[in-house]
């Protein structure tokens, strides 16, 4: 009993220690306040911050292509990308360049091309990021809360990459925002309008962007279309007060729905540490199709759970939510295409002998999504021979995972011949309609059995 009591006390103590270690200290970085250990001096002309009031958003996790996530101004030159490029390629700054590149997983020879693909913007929200100081010849990472109004460079997927005024590299925030402790100090005093519930974390857009849609921080009725990799000289204005209709999204994938909303100047809201998979099927939107909203308004998407997979489906959040979930790495949208296995057609004759898996011919299994990488998961194995029935096979097209199998063709009224289908029987999915739904037939299948193939 004494040993049990000691063990219980140890477990309680261990749980308390774990709880204490899970808190993340975050250093506040105010707009216009010089860094104590910057990569380059704040007065070197690399960039300048602005005075911007943080905006409330539904949920702390925002995609990099969210319309109006970032701001701009009519005045160009909030970031001098060319000067930063000269600093980092100068021989006297070789050591800084190596540390700068390593912090962003780059080689030093990749720095010029990388900078050419970045775009200067102003933060419209207090934003969490992994910042880097330069101390004793090393890049030292630290969790930071960047105040709205700080000028940054974002990459092709809308992720914060560089703090303009000092050239410090930025990476995505790592940690749980529900367990952060913001430390104000060293001149970075708590700013007016700071609200813990309005803190955001930016996740990458599901695709590379051609332009970034900004809002003028001095005139909220003016929108700015800024081509990626430009610094303001090619900006195109638009009327941000114009109402935008919610497009019809039911039946599309989550990735496609997000793209359509962004193109319409609307944003998508969801809850969870990651957005739903890109191939998740959208079943409804709130507000519905045709509703006219202001620029940058949020639309909640409802997605169907995927059957037969272990993929997690995140539940969207209502626009009033302010839950700030965080993940440490960019999400892999639609990274697990569904496993598909071929099944030999059934016939009234004897069951075909089991054959070893053969390599499927090219094009026999369509990809689940154009943007989803091929899965490295092992193939699904079957432990029993194909089921033999007396009815001919019903060929069906293979829908994406998560989409119900439906057919608009009426059931056959005669058992003399199998139903006609334009899809070869060998490409039918492993799960077919039960034999009881088709009339009995003694006619053998016209297509010879094909050995099963697993992709």
Domains and CATH numbers, the chain: 20-241 (no CATH), 242-306+314-321 (3.30.10.20)
Take residue 361 and report the two structure tokens written for it: 């011919």
Which residues make Cβ contacts (< 8 Å) with residue 433, sequence separation at least 6?
394, 396
Angle at 76 between CA 74 and CA 81, to 5 degrees: 150
Q: Find the mean pLDDT for residues 293-319.
A: 65
Q: How many CA atoms lie within 13 A of 51 on its CB side?
A: 3
Q: Are 24 and 143 in contact (CB under 8 A)?
A: yes
pTM summary value: 0.65
pLDDT at position 235? 95
Nearest alpha-carbon partner for 267 in 241, 252, 246:
246
What tokens were used for 337?
A: 């295409």
Residue 261 backbone phi and psi in degrees, to 5: -65, -45
CA-angle at 324, arms to 321 and 325, nearest 5°: 120
Please give the structure tokens belonging to residue 333: 């949208």
Amino acid 361: pLDDT: 41
Query: pLDDT tens digits, residue range 370-398?
Result: 333 443 444 343 444 444 444 444 444 44
What is the β-pairing status of strands 201-203 and 70-72?
Answer: unpaired
Is it true that the peptide bond before 297 is cis, omega within 30 degrees of 0? no
Please state, in angstroms and rounded to a whole number, the distance separating the CA atoms of residues 295 and 240. 6
**Residue 200 pLDDT greater than 90, yes or no:** yes
Cα(381)–Cα(357) distance, rounded to whole angstroms?
10
pLDDT for position 7: 53
pLDDT at 160: 98
What is the spatial distance between Cα 83 and Cα 140, in angstroms, rounded to a whole number?
23
Provide the 8-state DSSP code for 331.
Answer: -
Share of the chain above pLDDT 70, in %: 62
């Amino acid at each position: 009993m004494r040993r049990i009591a000691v063990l219980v006390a140890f477990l309680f103590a261990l749980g308390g220690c774990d709880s204490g270690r899970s808190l993340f200290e975050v250093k506040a970085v105010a707009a216009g306040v010089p860094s104590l250990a910057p990569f380059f001096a704040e007065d070197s002309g690399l960039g300048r911050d602005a005075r911007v009031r943080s905006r409330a958003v539904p949920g702390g996790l925002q995609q990099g292509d969210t319309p109006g996530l970032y701001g701009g101004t009519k005045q160009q030159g909030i970031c001098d990308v060319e000067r930063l490029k000269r600093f980092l390629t100068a021989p006297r700054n070789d050591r800084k360049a190596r540390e700068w590149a390593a912090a962003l997983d780059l080689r030093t020879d990749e720095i010029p091309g990388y900078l050419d693909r970045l775009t200067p913007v102003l933060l419209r929200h207090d934003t969490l990021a992994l910042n880097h100081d330069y101390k004793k010849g090393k890049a030292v990472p630290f969790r930071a809360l960047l105040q709205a109004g700080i000028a940054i460079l974002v990459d092709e997927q809308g992720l914060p990459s560089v703090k303009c005024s000092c050239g410090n590299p930025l990476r995505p925030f790592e940690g749980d925002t529900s367990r952060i402790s913001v430390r104000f100090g060293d001149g970075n005093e708590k700013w007016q309008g700071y609200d813990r519930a309005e803190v955001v974390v930016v996740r990458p857009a599901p695709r590379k962007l051609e332009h970034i849609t900004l809002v003028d921080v001095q005139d909220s009725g003016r929108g700015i279309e800024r081509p990626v990799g430009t610094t303001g000289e090619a900006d195109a204005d638009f009327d941000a007060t114009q109402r935008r209709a919610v497009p019809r999204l039911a039946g599309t994938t989550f990735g496609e729905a997000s793209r359509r909303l962004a193109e319409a100047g609307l944003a998508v809201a969801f809850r969870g540490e990651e957005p739903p998979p890109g191939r998740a099927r959208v079943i409804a939107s709130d507000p519905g199709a045709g509703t006219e909203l202001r620029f940058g308004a949020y639309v909640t998407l409802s997605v169907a759970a995927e059957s037969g997979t272990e993929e997690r489906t995140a539940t969207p959040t209502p626009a009033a939510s302010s839950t700030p979930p965080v993940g440490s790495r960019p999400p892999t949208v639609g990274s697990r295409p569904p496993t598909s296995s071929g099944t030999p057609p059934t016939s009234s004759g004897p069951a075909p002998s089991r054959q070893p898996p053969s390599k499927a011919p090219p094009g026999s299994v369509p990809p689940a999504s154009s943007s989803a990488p091929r899965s490295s998961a092992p193939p699904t194995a079957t432990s029993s021979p194909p089921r033999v029935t007396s009815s001919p096979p019903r060929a069906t097209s293979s829908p994406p995972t998560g989409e119900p199998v439906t057919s608009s063709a009426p059931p056959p009224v005669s058992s003399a011949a199998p139903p006609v289908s334009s899809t070869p029987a060998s490409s039918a999915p492993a799960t077919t309609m039960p034999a009881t739904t088709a009339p009995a037939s003694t006619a053998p299948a016209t297509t010879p059995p094909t050995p099963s193939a697993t992709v």
